[in-house]
Structure 1
Amino acid sequence: MYRFLLTRQWAIITLVALLLIPTMIWLGFWQLHRHDHRQRLNQLMSTSLAARPVPVRSLTAVGGSVAHHDVYRRVTAKGRFDTAHELVVRRRTNTDEQVGYHVLTPFTLDDGATLLVNRGWIPAPVSQTAFPKIPAPASGDVTVTGRLMQDETTAASGIKNLKGLPDRQVMLINSEQVGALLRGSGDASARAVLGGYIEMTSPAPQGGSPQLLPTPQEDTSWIGVGDINLPYAVQWWLFAAGVPVGWLVLVRRELRERSAATREPAAQETEPAPA
């Protein structure tokens, strides 16, 4: 009765089912891992943003890196903006999902080191090759406050680090790469660039531009993200449980069709011949 399961067609169906079950179970655990990671990151953000600001030098150093537990910590720095070597970061969106640039301005500290400051978002100009007009920051000595961030990488952000971009435009905010660009432009102070960068929160820009970057709580793209992965995990596990059920349904349907096909010729043979 079940000899049809040995046919090539059913062998392939069974093999596919056997492969789908562990794959879907793995995808469920992968989504669960992402859920746990997101929950830990949300907790880290809340703790860091609630902490009192500390000097940036206490959490990062020249040529160093920002520790994971220090991400989003509020830091302060005193110095001067170096607009002559200002850069823009391409393909960045604001809270309205408009594509534009992030303004990346070197900030020379009192001790001569350079801190990269993301001053916020500006809309993209018509020309994608010309350097955009950017409102100037406060001049002279100023104290800035911002959220400390790790260097961006392609692996972590998914953003391709394209080559051959127009002058003073980059794809990633990476202190090592930006430092090399600044040194190539003849900026001696860029030889001592602090690891990571900050998203500036104060002082507020004159005229509201560039737009300061929102906190994760204010960014609508974060709303509900932490809860999405858990339902996805359950969904994949339900799919995994449904595979053997679906396989059994197909087997029973095949049995009914084969039984019906067997009974039909038998019924035709028992009918009396017409007179």
Structure 2
Amino acid sequence: MHRLLLQRRWLRAIALALLFTLACLALARWQWDRRAERVAAIELVRSNYDRSPAALDAVLPAGAASLPAERTWTPVAVSGQYLASSTLLVRHRQHGDDGYGYEVLVPLRLDDGRVLVVDRGWLAPDPATADAPSAVPAPPRGTVSAVVRLRPSEPVDGRGAPAGQVQAVDLPGTVRAGVAASAGAATAQRLVTAAYGELEDGTEQPAPSARPPAAPLEPSQDEGPHLGYTVQWLLFAVGAWVFLVVHLRRAAYEADVAAGRRERRAEVVVRDPDRVPTDEEVEDAAVEAMIAHARREGERQLGR
């Protein structure tokens, strides 16, 4: 077999198997990392989602540049006045089985003067135009208290949007610009850019006469297919070498038979693996083996 390993075609096969294995291992690692990220996100939901509401300053102090990752989904109690004229709609947001629509963002001027963006819920597109909702329920007037779950600012999207709409909850960018356009630069400067709040259903006091449907009761805790894909790529990596070894052993056997170093094994064809071969099948296989042996002996005698 070692002679075969030095042949160019088998060297190429080994090199290809090595490259294929490295690619499979890289893909397995990538899927494992995605699973680790998903598990970490699920742990945040399990740890924080159902906690008792805390004070905003205890979770997100004034001036904080970003929301600590371990505080995502933490409920906080807030109080202030909604800036209804600065309402923004986030485009292309899925809501359960209802399809894609718009999240409704309304800035809430807190009692300490900061402005916290609150996601009050989801609205379907206008069925007549398949565009922005025809009407957006107004938030309660005056001083409002509520419980919101903190979520971090989203990455910059880069795409444009019609006036009053944004493509992502990009707090330091498009959201701040939208607030500045409607409420002025001074209000926009007081905007909390480290996080926004997702309103917990039924916690607004006074209760509004109408409000957008709330977000789903709880984020999905499904890990996804990443673990299965990781195992799949590892099996592919092992399978490449099993395939190579099987074919290499087959080639070595054929080379030994051709060189006369080994007799070809008699092969009995059995159509049904649960059936015992008949006497005729055994005899046919033996005759074929004898003929093959006689042919090799004749060739050897002629070679002398």
Q: TM-score range by the shorter chain?
A: 0.7 to 0.9
Q: Choose from 155, 163, 168 the match for 1:167.
A: 163
Give the whole-Å Cα distance in 1 for the aligned partners of 2:87 and 2:255: 76
Q: Which runs of 5+ in 1 are unaligned?
A: 155-160, 271-275
* 1:214 partnered with 2:204: no
Relative to structure 1, the CA distance from residue 127 to residue 4 in structure 2 (aligned partners, 3 Å threshold; closer, same or farther) is farther
Aligned to 1:76, the other structure's residue is in SS state: strand
Aligned-pair RMSD on alpha carbons? 3.1
- 1:64-94 CA-to-partner distances (Å, cap 9, x unmatched) read 2111111110011111111111111111101
Q: Could you tell me how far 1:129 is from its partner in structure 2? A: 5.9
Q: Once the two structures are superposed, what CA deviation does each residue of 1:106-163 show, in whole Å capped at 9, x if it has no partner?
A: 1111222110001111112254665642111222111011110011115xxxxxx143
Q: 1:214 to 1:90 in 2, by over 3 A?
A: same
Retained in 1: the 8 A contact 2:125–2:132? no
Is the Cα contact below 8 Å between 1:149 and 1:199 reproduced in 2? Answer: yes
Q: Is 1:182 the counterpart of 2:183 in the alignment?
A: no
Q: Gapped runs of 5+ residues in structure 2? A: 261-291, 300-304
Q: Percent identity?
A: 31
Q: CA deviation at 1:169?
A: 1.1
Q: 1:144 & 1:74 partners in 2: Cα distance?
A: 10
Matches within 5 A, 1:47-86: 47-60=47-60, 61-62=62-63, 64-86=65-87
Partner Cα distance (2:141, 2:94) in 1: 27
Answer whether contact 1:51 1:73 (CA < 8 A) is retained: yes
Alignment: residue pair count:
257
1:111–1:62: structure 2 CA closer, same or farther, 3 Å change rule?
same
Are the structure 2 counterparts of residues 205 and 239 from structure 1 closer, same or farther at C-alpha, using a change threshold of 3 Å? farther
Partner of 2:140: 138
TM-score for both structures, normalised by structure 1 = 0.79
Cα deviations across residues 235-268 of structure 1 (Å, max 9, x unaligned)?
Answer: 222221111001223334555777899999xx69
Question: SS of 1:52's equivalent?
Answer: coil
Aligned residue identity for 1:145: V
Residue type matched to 1:176 in 2?
A: P
C-alpha distance 223-53 of structure 1, shift in aligned 2 (>3 A):
closer
Residue 36 of structure 2 corresponds to 36
Distance 1:130 1:237, change over 3 A: closer
1:55 shift after superposition: 2.0
The answer for the alignment partner of 2:230 in structure 1 is 233
Q: Decide whether the 8 Å contact of 2:73 with 2:149 is kept in 1.
A: yes
Which residue pairs with 1:93 in the alignment?
Answer: 94
Larger Rg: 2
Give the C-alpha shift of residue 2 in structure 1. 7.0
Match for 1:32: what amino acid?
W
The separation in 1 between residues aligned to 2:29 and 2:208, in whole angstroms, is 45
Whole-angstrom CA distance in 1 between matches of 2:208 and 2:256: 79
Q: Is the aligned partner of 1:121 residue 2:118? A: no
Greater RCO between the two (CA within 8 Å, min separation 6)? 1
Task: State the one-letter code of the partner of 1:247.
Answer: L
Amino acid at match of 1:245: V
Alignment of 1:252-267 (within 5 A): 252-254=249-251
2:20 alignment partner in structure 1? 20
**Cα pair 1:63 1:176 within 8 Å, conserved:** no
C-alpha contact (below 8 Å) 2:86/2:106 kept by paired residues: yes
For the Cα contact (< 8 Å) 2:85–2:182, is it kept in 1? no
Cα 1:117–1:5 change in 2 (3 A) is same
What whole-Å deviation, never above 9, does each CA across 1:193-231 have from its counterpart, x for those lacking one? Answer: 112101101327644x41111243xx4xx25326x3333
Partner letter of residue 179 of structure 1?
R
Amino acid at match of 1:240: A
> For the Cα contact (< 8 Å) 1:101–1:121, is it kept in 2?
yes
Q: Which residue of 1 aligns with 2:150?
A: 148
Deviation at 1:101, TM superposition (A): 0.8
Residue of 169, 187, 192 corresponding to 2:190:
192
The residue matched to 2:49 in structure 1 has which SS? Answer: helix
